[in-house]
Each structure stands twice: as structure tokens, then as C-alpha cells.
Structure 1
Amino acid sequence: MTLIRIVLTLVMTLMIGFLNAQQMTGRAVYKSMSKMEIRLDSTEASAAMQADLQEQLMEAMKKDYELNFNSTESNWKELPKLDKSMGGGGIQVIGIASGGGADGLLYKNTKTKGFSETQGMFGKLFLIEGDLEEYEWELGSETKQIGQYTCYKATAVRKFMASSFSSSDDGVDSSEQEREQTLTAWYSPEIAVNHGPDVFWGLPGLILEISNGERTLICSQVILNPSDAKAVVPATKGKKVTEAEYEDIMEKQMQKMHRMHGGRKKGDGRGNIEIRIGG
């Protein structure tokens, strides 16, 4: 009789958890920190100048995002922030990452394993649709606390293409190189959805922190079943393009921007600049 009660209790617990997950809605706010490597000709810029520029870039690339979700769908969007003037010596970073810009929106459906995304780039909107990238997560036993939630560690290895743009006396060159990075995620089974920030998903609980060594996303606030829950909707705005077409457009725009702001006229003797952007 005792065994039957235990089994019934476990079944009821699982059913309640399943029903809660089915009915769950939520909103999570994330902060991001990214790295961008810049190399300046040592004859033109001192180590202190390069370090200062690197620090300005890291500060400019700090962003806040919002993830709205239900049991199987989520929307990822960059939150607006006040434009802090950095003066004449400051720099601006034009966002081209997922969810970037006021019009950017990433929609993920973990049931159909598909996504749609509106990307704003240089004043134009593009709509990209496709299949979600699936990660081969390795679940660990290590835990840590993020806010009120106990989180478990998971890792995955991801391959991606890294772009490099360089400007010299001979003009602007671009190149791509396949790189491999280790994703380190912290997820909480207490929030029973398999969502995560940006393009990440697929763990038995909401991902509250993830890092690839160059970019870190960490959750600063979670509200479950909010009274003002936002509807989760597919992205529909923008000119429809494939992922390959969008990457080609982005590369051409980056080269154009680099010529305008970082290019040198041949023979001006002002050295070279190299910018490397990783995933």
C-alpha cells in the first residue's frame, strides 16, 4: 500500500509540474557583455591607447534584453536605453546581433524547432526564417545560485564562422575562419521551460546565464506568470532573405562601414587597423 501511495504521489507531482509548465508564462531580463578584439599599428597607437579603446568598446557593447516566453515559444528583444554621449573621443557600435535594435525581434518555437527573426541593419529590416540550432548539451552536477534560483551547469561545443576585417594602405580586406568555442550555461529546473536567451535553448530548465568566452548573458530579473504577460508572436517585419543571403549583406555592409570609418588612403603612411568579431 505504501508503494502505491509513493507511485501515486510521484505521478501527481509530475502531472502538476507538467500542467504548470503548460500554463506558464514569464518574462526575464538579461544583461550582456561582449568582447571585440581591435589591433592597431603599434607605431600609431600606444598600448595605453589600445587598452582605452578596448575599454570603450566593451562599455558600448553592454546591452539589456528581454525574454518573454510561454511553454513552447519565446520572444527575444533588445531593450532601449538612454544614449550616453561619449564626446568627441568616444565610439559607437552598431548592433547586428540577434534581437538588436529597436525593431529587432527573435522568435523561437522549441516544439517545431523553428525560428523567425527580424534584424535591423543600417536602417533596413530583414526577415530570416529557419531551423533552430540544436546543441549537444552535457549536463553536470555543479550548482550555483543566481538570484533565488539554484542553477545547474551544462556545456556544449559549438562551431561557427568568425569574421575579420582589416584596413591597410592597400585597402580593406575581409576573411572568415571556422572557430570552435565552448558554451557554458547555467539553467534552473525550478523554471520548467527549455528556453534561453538569444539563440540558446534545449536544457531542462530556463537558462539564466550563458557564456562562450567572448560574450556573456546573465539574467537579472525573472517574473513568472506576470499579470501583464506579453503575447509571444513570430517575427514578420522586413524583407525576407535566407541566412546565407543575410550574412552576405552583413559582410558587404561591414566592409562599407569599415572603408568609411576605418579605411586609409593608399600611401598615406598611417599604418593599419584590424577588427576581429567572434560569435
Structure 2
Amino acid sequence: MKKIFFTLFVAIFSMLSINAQNFQGMAIYESKTSIGDKMPKFDDKQIPPDMQKMIEERMKAMFEKTFVLNFDKTASIYAEEEKLDAGDEMSRGFKMMGSMMGGGGKQYKNIKDKTILQEKEIFGKEFLVSDTLPQIKWTMGTETKKIGEYTCYKATAVVPTDKSNMMNYRPKKGQEEKLKNLKQEDAQKTNFMDMVEMPKDKTITAWYTPEVPVSQGPENYYGLPGLILEVTDGVTTILCSKVVLNPKEKAEIKPLKKGEKVTQAEFADIMMKKMKELQEMGGPGGRPGGMRIGG
């Protein structure tokens, strides 16, 4: 009985706090992408071992990121935690690859106006991807679990795949073993884009807490009766590690303005054109030099 009373008290207190005039909240998320044994290996003898190790460590870091979500009752700003950039050519290259894999740039979404804006950069050119916030048809579950101090409920949905995110590509049927066992001499003349495809949609599982009754979440996810603390698509998991309600320092939650304004579909087309250019130059998705896929 005491436990039920305490849970109700916390829920009511949270609702009163959120209904305050200047309510804001902050949530920190850790994003991890599982790539199994697919991490590229380097066997180019012209690259020193210490350099090979550094490249592999930087590539691994691209799959483990930290994001901060600042939110109020209707809008939010979601951004990757800023890290020191060495400013050299390698750092710029990894920054570009990170952008192609869905990282980098701030995201603004307004659940009242149904708008979403995201800053993106490709080859030094800045874009502002602007679109209508897509509706997510959630299937509500009864399963619960604890994330930190919060009781969370399960929900699932099928959502369209982001065609501008390279991480959403999957090997075509019968191509996975070829990619894993590809030899360096064959990689020089292989068009990797012919060996992969983009699924139309994907199934996601989310865990939300009514104890923070705002319809917000990381990335494009929203629309549940509580803050989303965890979401996974089977490959990438985004997990909340900290929630702060009414922080002392208020964040600026306003629509983004930087960059050439394009729709999500237009940006996906631009990304595909840039990918083809990279293939012709021997970059990602084309002829990767000393990089081979697999173990």
C-alpha cells in the first residue's frame, strides 16, 4: 500500500511541476550501435600499426555517442554532446562519415505544431532539413521495467526508414558472406552500393515513463504518454542515463535556422548523389583502399 501511495505521489508531483509556467527538463542519452564482427579491419602494410589502431578506435567511437535532450511541454532540442575536434583531415573525414550515419547537428521538434527541423552538413555545406513531424502509430503494452528510478512501460511501432542514414543499409540477400570475406584486391574494384539495400521500414521498441508526463523522446520519437527513456530498432539502442526536471540553467528551445532549407526526401536525394561521388573518388561505399570488410 505504501509503495502504491508513493508512486501516485511522485506522479502527481511530477505533473504539478510540469504544469508550471516555465517548465523545462533535460535528459542525457547514450546511443550504442551493435555491429558484431562487422567492424572493418585494416591490413594495408603502408599504414603504420599505431595509425591503424587509432583509425579503428575512432570508427568504434562513431557507434557510441552521447546526446542531450532539452525539452519543455511542447518542444525539444536534441543534440550530440560536443567533443574536441583536432581539426585535421582525418577528423574532418570522420565528422563527415558521422553525419552520413545519422549523427551531428541539432534537431528541433515541436509536437504541438507537428514540425521537425534538423541541421546537417555535407562536404562543408550546411542544410536545414525541414518537414512535418511524422505520426507514429504506437502499440501499447503492459510490460514494465525500471530505468534508473523510473517505472517504464513498453510500446512498439513500425516506422519508415531514414534513407539519408547509412546505418540503415543492410546487405542484400546472399551478399553478407561476400562482404565479410571480400579480399583487398577485390575491394578495389567493388561497388559496395550494389551489394546493399535500404529497408522500407523498421520495428522499434520504446520504454516510456508516465512519471515524466511529456510526449517527448530522443531523435524522431515522441507521441507516448510519458518521456521515452529507451528506444531500440534491434541494431541501435538509445538509453537515458539521467533526467533533470527544472534545471537551474534553462536551455534555449527555439526553431533552428542555420543552413539551406530542404525536405527530408530532398536531403536523402542529395545524400545519395554525394555517395555516388564518393564511390567515383574511391571513398566510403566505393573503393576503400586498404580497408576490408569482415574479420
Query: Could you say whether these structures have the same fold, taking a TM-score greater than 0.5 normalized by the shorter chain as the test?
Result: yes
Partner amino acid for 2:18?
A: N
Asked whether the equivalents of residues 76 and 99 of structure 1 are also in contact (C-alpha less than 8 Å), the reply is no
Query: Is structure 2 residue 27 aligned with structure 1 residue 28?
Result: yes
Q: Which residue of 1 aligns with 2:83?
A: 81
Structure number with the higher helix fraction is 2
Aligned match for 2:98, one of 95, 101, 113: 95
CA separation of 1:272/1:54 partners in 2, compared to 1, >3 Å: closer, same or farther? closer
Q: Which runs of 5+ in 2 are unaligned?
A: 1-7, 45-52, 172-178, 180-186
* Structure 1: distance between partners of 2:14 and 2:67: 31
Query: Is structure 2 residue 283 aligned with structure 1 residue 261?
Result: yes
Q: Which residue of 2 aligns with 1:112?
A: 113
Task: For residue 112 of structure 1, report the CA deviation from its aligned partner.
Answer: 1.2
* Structure 1: distance between partners of 2:109 and 2:69: 11
Partner amino acid for 2:70?
A: N
Percent identical residues:
38
Q: Which residue of 1 aligns with 2:50?
A: none
Structure number with the higher strand fraction is 1
Corresponding residue SS for 2:265: helix
Partner amino acid for 1:17?
A: M
1:24-76 CA-to-partner distances (Å, cap 9, x unmatched) read 31011111012458598xxx9xxxxxxx9999744432111110000000001
* Structure 2: distance between partners of 1:98 and 1:75: 19
CA separation of 1:121/1:164 partners in 2, compared to 1, >3 Å: closer, same or farther? farther
What TM-score does the superposition give when structure 1 sets the normalisation length? 0.73
Aligned match for 2:15, one of 14, 17, 34: 17
1:70-128 CA-to-partner distances (Å, cap 9, x unmatched) read 000000111112569xxx9xx94622269833xx1111000111111211223221012
Partner amino acid for 1:25?
A: Q
Partner amino acid for 1:71?
A: K
Paired residue total: 246
CA separation of 1:180/1:54 partners in 2, compared to 1, >3 Å: closer, same or farther? farther
Q: Which residue of 2 aligns with 1:189?
A: 210
Q: Which residue of 1 aligns with 2:137?
A: 136
Corresponding residue SS for 1:118: strand
Q: Which runs of 5+ in 1 are unaligned?
A: 1-9, 45-51
CA RMSD of aligned residues (A): 3.8
CA separation of 1:99/1:159 partners in 2, compared to 1, >3 Å: closer, same or farther? closer
Q: Within 5 Å, which residues of 2 pair with 1:231-250?
A: 231-250=252-271
CA separation of 1:14/1:264 partners in 2, compared to 1, >3 Å: closer, same or farther? closer
Asked whether the equivalents of residues 130 and 263 of structure 2 are also in contact (C-alpha less than 8 Å), the reply is yes
Task: For residue 190 of structure 1, report the CA deviation from its aligned partner.
Answer: 0.4
Partner amino acid for 1:96?
A: S
Task: For residue 207 of structure 1, report the CA deviation from its aligned partner.
Answer: 0.2
Asked whether the equivalents of residues 215 and 222 of structure 2 are also in contact (C-alpha less than 8 Å), the reply is yes
Task: For residue 177 of structure 1, report the CA deviation from its aligned partner.
Answer: 3.4
* Structure 2: distance between partners of 1:192 and 1:26: 11
* Structure 2: distance between partners of 1:35 and 1:256: 28
What TM-score does the superposition give when structure 2 sets the normalisation length? 0.69
Asked whether the equivalents of residues 157 and 181 of structure 1 are also in contact (C-alpha less than 8 Å), the reply is yes
Aligned match for 1:71, one of 70, 73, 78: 73
Task: For residue 261 of structure 1, report the CA deviation from its aligned partner.
Answer: 3.3
1:162-202 CA-to-partner distances (Å, cap 9, x unmatched) read 44699662656456433432111010100010000011000
